[in-house]
C-alpha cells in the first residue's frame, strides 16, 4: 500500500511540480511585463501633449509604426536628446526636424530601458499588453462622449453670443435713454423748440422707467462676471494651442486633477516649445517675443484672472475633475474654439446647485465608500439614483467658509 501509494503519488508530484513551477514562472513573467508597461504608460503621459499613436499629427508626428520605420538604437538616442542628434548632423534626425517646422522635441531624462518600454507600448498601439476588452470598450464610449460634447456646444456658443448681444443692447438702451433725457431737459429749459411741456414730461418719465428696469436687471447679476473677457498681457490663444495643435488641457493646467486650483502654467512650460517656435501665423514675432523676454528676464507674465468666485465660496477642481468626472467644457464652455477666454457661465449659487441636483454620482468610485449611510439607503430602496445632493452638494457649509 505504502509503496504503491508512493509510486503512484511520486510521478504525480513531479508533474505537479512542473506544472506548478510553470505556473509561477508565467505569473512572474506576466507580472513583470505588466509592471513594465504600466510604467511605460505613465512615462508616455509626457509625450501625449505632442504625439498620438494612430490619432494623427499633433505638435510632433504620429508615432504609429515608428518602431518599424526607425532603428531602436536611433530611437533611444533621439528620444533622450533629439537636438543632440540634429546638431551632430544625423541625416534622419535633421530630416524629421525639418519636416516638423523645426519645432524641437525637448530632451527626456529616461534610461535606455525606460525608452525601450515606451517603444513597446507604442508598438502595442498605446495599450498595456493584456488589458481587458472592458477597458477598451470604456475608452470607446469616452471617445463617443467627447464627439457628442464637441457637437452640442455649437448651440451653446451661439446662445452665449446671443446673450452677449443682449447685454450690449442693454447698455445701448441705457445710453440712449440718458441722451433722450438730456435732450428733453435742454429743450425744456434752453432751446424751447417743443412748446408743449407735457411732451417733455412723458419722454423723461418713459426714459426713467426704462433706465430703472435696466438697472434692476443688471443689479441682480451684480458682482457676477458672466461674459467677462479681459485683455491679457500676451495674446495667448486656446484655439491655436488646445484646438489647432491639440495640446491637452492637462499639459498646461497640470494641477486641475490634483489640487483645488487648475493653475496657470509658468512661462517655463511655454518655453518647451517657444524655445524654437518664434513666429505665430496671426501675430508674427510680436506676442511670442513677450514670452521669451519674460523667460529671459525671469519675470512672470501677469495674466488677468477671468473666473472669480467671491471669497466666501469654496470651490475645488480636483473634486470636480477627478472625483466628479465633470468635463472642463461643462463649466468653461468650448475653450478649444476661443482665441481669448470668456466666462460663459454665471458661476452663481443657482448654477452650482442646479447641476448638483441633477448630476448622478458614480457609486463605483471608491471615494464614495465612506458614505455608509447612503449605501444603506440605496439598499433599502429609499434612494434610487443618488445625485451630488445626496453626498452634501446642497449643504451650506460645503460651499461656504
Ligand atoms: C513638446 C512636444 C514634444 C514632446 C513632449 C515629445 N515630443 Fe517627440 N517629437 C516632437 C517633435 C516636434 C518631433 C519632430 C522632430 C523634431 O523635433 O526633431 C518629435 C519626434 C519624435 C520622434 C521621431 C518620429 C519619427 O517619425 O521619426 C519620436 C520617436 C518621438 N518624438 C517620441 C517621443 C516620445 C517617446 C516622447 C515622450 C517621452 C516625446 N516624443 C515627447 C515633439 C515632442
Ligand atoms: C499651452 C498651454 C495651455 C493649454 C494647452 C491650455 N491652456 Fe488654458 N490657459 C493657459 C494660459 C496661459 C491661461 C491664462 C491666459 C488666459 O486666460 O487666456 C489659461 C487660462 C485658462 C482659463 C481661464 C482661467 C481664468 O483666468 O479664469 C481656462 C478656463 C482654461 N485656461 C481652460 C483650459 C482648457 C479647458 C483647456 C483644454 C481644452 C486649456 N485651458 C488648455 C494655458 C493653456
Ligand atoms: C464644476 C465646474 C468646473 C469644472 C469641471 C472645471 N472648472 Fe475650472 N473653474 C471653475 C470655477 C468656478 C473657477 C473659479 C475658481 C475661483 O475663483 O476660485 C475656475 C477656475 C479655473 C482656472 C483659473 C485658475 C484657477 O485655478 O482658479 C483655470 C485655469 C481653470 N478653471 C481650468 C480648468 C480646466 C483645465 C478644467 C478641466 C480639467 C476645469 N477648469 C474644470 C469651474 C470649473
Ligand atoms: C506644446 C507646444 C507649445 C506650448 C507648450 C506652447 N505653445 Fe504657443 N504655440 C505653439 C505652436 C505650434 C504655435 C503655432 C505657431 C503658428 O502659428 O504656426 C504657437 C503659437 C503661439 C503664439 C502666436 C499665436 C499666433 O497665431 O500668432 C503665442 C503668442 C503663443 N504661442 C504663446 C504661448 C504661451 C504664452 C505659452 C505658455 C502658456 C505657449 N504658447 C505654450 C506651441 C506651443
Ligand atoms: C456641471 C456640474 C457641476 C457644477 C456646475 C458644479 N458642480 Fe460641484 N459637484 C459636481 C459633482 C459631479 C460633484 C461630486 C463630486 C464629489 O462628490 O466630490 C460635486 C461636488 C461638489 C462639492 C463636494 C460635495 C460633497 O459633499 O462631496 C462641492 C463643495 C462643490 N461641488 C461645490 C461647487 C461649487 C461652489 C460650484 C459652483 C461654483 C459647483 N460645485 C458647480 C458637479 C458640479
Ligand atoms: C454648491 C455650492 C453652494 C451651496 C451648497 C450653497 N451656496 Fe451660497 N453661494 C454659492 C456661490 C457660488 C455663491 C456666489 C454667488 C454669486 O456670486 O452670485 C453663493 C452666494 C451666497 C450668498 C451671498 C449672496 C450672493 O448672491 O452673493 C449667501 C448669503 C449664500 N450663498 C448663502 C447660502 C446658504 C444659506 C446656503 C445653504 C442653504 C448656501 N448658500 C449653499 C454656492 C453655494
* Residue 330 belongs to some domain of the structure: no
* Mean pLDDT, all residues of the chain: 80
Q: Which ligand is nearest to the CA of 294?
A: 4
Burial of residue 2 (number of CB atoms within 10 Å: 0-12, 13-18, 19+): exposed
pLDDT(339) > 80:
yes
CATH of the domain at 55: 1.10.760.10
Residue 7 and residue 127 in one domain: yes
The whole-number average pLDDT for the span 142-147 is: 38
Q: How many CB atoms lie within 10 A of CB 238?
A: 20
305 lines ligand 2 (CB under 6 A): yes
* Residue 325 belongs to some domain of the structure: no
* Residue 297 belongs to some domain of the structure: no
Domain boundary among 131, 166, 194: 131
Domain boundary among 166, 192, 220: 220
Question: What percentage of the chain carries pLDDT values higher than 90?
Answer: 36
Q: How many CB atoms lie within 10 A of CB 328?
A: 19
Distances in Å between the Cα of 283 and the Cα atoms of 275, 286, 304, 305, 334 are 17, 6, 20, 22, 22
pLDDT(4) > 60:
no
Locate all alpha helices (DSSP H) within 327-388, ordered by sequence.
328-332, 349-358, 372-380
What is the reported pLDDT for 304? Answer: 92
* Residue 255 belongs to some domain of the structure: no
50, HSE (Cβ side, Cα atoms, 13 Å):
13
What is the reported pLDDT for 156? Answer: 57
Q: Are 59 and 103 in contact (CB under 8 A)?
A: yes
Predicted TM-score (pTM) of this structure:
0.70
Residue 69 and residue 163 in one domain: no
* Residue 188 belongs to some domain of the structure: yes
The CA distance from 54 to 46, in Å, is 17
34 lines ligand 3 (CB under 6 A): no
Residue 15 and residue 89 in one domain: yes
Torsion of CA 375, 377, 381, 387, to 10 degrees: -70
How far apart are the CA of 251 and the centre of ligand 1, in A?
15
Q: Sorting pLDDT into bands at 50, 70 and 90, what band is 37?
A: low
pLDDT(354) > 80:
yes
How far apart are the CA of 274 and the centre of ligand 4, in A?
7
130 φ/ψ angles, rounded to the nearest 5 degrees:
85, 15
* Residue 278 belongs to some domain of the structure: no
Residue 183 and residue 216 in one domain: yes
C-alpha cell at 231: 485683455
- CB within 6 Å of ligand 6 — which residues? 223-224, 309-310, 313, 348-349, 352-353, 356, 393-396, 398-400
Residue 41 and residue 110 in one domain: yes
**Residue 213 belongs to domain spanning:** 153-220
Q: Are 121 and 113 in contact (CB under 8 A)?
A: no
What is the reported pLDDT for 161? Answer: 65
Q: Sorting pLDDT into bands at 50, 70 and 90, what band is 215?
A: confident
Number of domains in the chain: 2
Q: Reduce the DSSP state of residue 32 to 3 states and report it.
A: helix
Q: Reduce the DSSP state of residue 387 to 3 states and report it.
A: strand
Residue 125 and residue 199 in one domain: no
The CA distance from 99 to 45, in Å, is 24
How far apart are the CA of 207 and the centre of ligand 1, in A?
64
C-alpha cell at 290: 513677450
Residue 36 and residue 66 in one domain: yes
The whole-number average pLDDT for the span 293-299 is: 93
Of 361, 351, 353, nearest to 325 (Cα)?
Answer: 361
* Residue 240 belongs to some domain of the structure: no
C-alpha cell at 33: 511585463
Residue 102 and residue 196 in one domain: no
Distances in Å between the Cα of 237 and the Cα atoms of 119, 253, 286 are 33, 15, 14
Give the residue, out of 309, 331, 355, 385, with the most ligand 5 atoms within 8 A of its beta carbon, to mutate for a pocket test. 355
* Residue 52 belongs to some domain of the structure: yes
Q: Which ligand is nearest to the CA of 308?
A: 3
Residue 55 and residue 12 in one domain: yes
The whole-number average pLDDT for the span 219-237 is: 77
How far apart are the CA of 267 and the centre of ligand 1, in A?
21
Burial of residue 96 (number of CB atoms within 10 Å: 0-12, 13-18, 19+): buried
Pick from 147-151, 173-177, 262-266: least confident:
147-151
Tens-place pLDDT, residues 300-312: 999 999 999 998 9
pLDDT(220) > 70:
no
DSSP characters over 281-311: TTTBTHHHHHHHHHHHHTPPP-PPP-----T
Amino acid at each position: 500500500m505504502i509503496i504503491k501509494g508512493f509510486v503512484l503519488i511520486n510521478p504525480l508530484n513531479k508533474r505537479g511540480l512542473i506544472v506548478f513551477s510553470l505556473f509561477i514562472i508565467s505569473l512572474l513573467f506576466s507580472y513583470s511585463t505588466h509592471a513594465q508597461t504600466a510604467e511605460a504608460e505613465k512615462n508616455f503621459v509626457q509625450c501625449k501633449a505632442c504625439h498620438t499613436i494612430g490619432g494623427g499629427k499633433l505638435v510632433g508626428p504620429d508615432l504609429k509604426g515608428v518602431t518599424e520605420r526607425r532603428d531602436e538604437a536611433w530611437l533611444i538616442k533621439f528620444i533622450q536628446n533629439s537636438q543632440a542628434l540634429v546638431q551632430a548632423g544625423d541625416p534622419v534626425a535633421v530630416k524629421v526636424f525639418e519636416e516638423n517646422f523645426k519645432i524641437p522635441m525637448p530632451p527626456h531624462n529616461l534610461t535606455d530601458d525606460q525608452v525601450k518600454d515606451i517603444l513597446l507600448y507604442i508598438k502595442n498601439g498605446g495599450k498595456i499588453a493584456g488589458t481587458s476588452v472592458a477597458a477598451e470598450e470604456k475608452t470607446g464610449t469616452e471617445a463617443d462622449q467627447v464627439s457628442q460634447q464637441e457637437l452640442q456646444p455649437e448651440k451653446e456658443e451661439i446662445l452665449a453670443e446671443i446673450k452677449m448681444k443682449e447685454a450690449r443692447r442693454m447698455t445701448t438702451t441705457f445710453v440712449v435713454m440718458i441722451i433722450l433725457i438730456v435732450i428733453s431737459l435742454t429743450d425744456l429749459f434752453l432751446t424751447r423748440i417743443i412748446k408743449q411741456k407735457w411732451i417733455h414730461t412723458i419722454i423723461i418719465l418713459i426714459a426713467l422707467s426704462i433706465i430703472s428696469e435696466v438697472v434692476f436687471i443688471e443689479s441682480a447679476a451684480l458682482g457676477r462676471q458672466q461674459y467677462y473677457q479681459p485683455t491679457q498681457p500676451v495674446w495667448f490663444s486656446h484655439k491655436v494651442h488646445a484646438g489647432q495643435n491639440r495640446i491637452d488641457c492637462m499639459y498646461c493646467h497640470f494641477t486641475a486633477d490634483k489640487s483645488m486650483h487648475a493653475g496657470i502654467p509658468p512661462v517655463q512650460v511655454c518655453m518647451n516649445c517657444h524655445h524654437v517656435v518664434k513666429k505665430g501665423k496671426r501675430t508674427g514675432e510680436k506676442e511670442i517675443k513677450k514670452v521669451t523676454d519674460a523667460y529671459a528676464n525671469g519675470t512672470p507674465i501677469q495674466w488677468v484672472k477671468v473666473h472669480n468666485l467671491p471669497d466666501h465660496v469654496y470651490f475645488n477642481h480636483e473634486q470636480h475633475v477627478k472625483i466628479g468626472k465633470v468635463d472642463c467644457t461643462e463649466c468653461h464652455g468650448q475653450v478649444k474654439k476661443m482665441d481669448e477666454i470668456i466666462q460663459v457661465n454665471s458661476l452663481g449659487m443657482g448654477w452650482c446647485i442646479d447641476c448638483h441636483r441633477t448630476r448622478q454620482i458614480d457609486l463605483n468610485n471608491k471615494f464614495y465608500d465612506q458614505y455608509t449611510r447612503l449605501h444603506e439607503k440605496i439598499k433599502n430602496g429609499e434612494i434610487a439614483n443618488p445625485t451630488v445632493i445626496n453626498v452634501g452638494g446642497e449643504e451650506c457649509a460645503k460651499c461656504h467658509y
